Amino acid sequence: MIKIYHNPRCQKSREGLHILEQSGKEFEVIKYLEDVPSKEELRKVLDCLGITPEMLVRKNEAIWKENYRGKLLSQEEILDAMILHPKLIERPIVVNGGKAVIGRPPKLVEDIL
């Protein structure tokens, strides 16, 4: 089943969700700020995306700038930071089977359908 890691307050995430709704396909919405993914779930998403944890971080967030920027962090520490502060996770992320995209721009969501 298709999954979207969604933040309702984010315009790009809302646009990605709209694309999924228009597709007519079944999908699951995961509001990741409320239902924080586990470290293992994040690893699976990263595998589907084919990227490192650091590439999934929203580096312009104040939380990142104040607590993590400029520090030498392991991949595990970056995963821990995203779990502790899920706001740091890029959005939206759409997973379909073994593939995933970050919907920035939202039009990329179409590529995975």
Catalytic residue among 2, 10, 19, 93, which? Answer: 10
Helix (H, G, I), strand (E, B) or coil at 21: helix
Catalytic site includes residue 10: yes
DSSP class per residue in 55-91: GGB-TTSHHHHHHTTTS---HHHHHHHHHH-GGGB-S
CA dihedral 64, 43, 27, 36 (to 10 degrees): -50
- Residues marked active site are found at 10
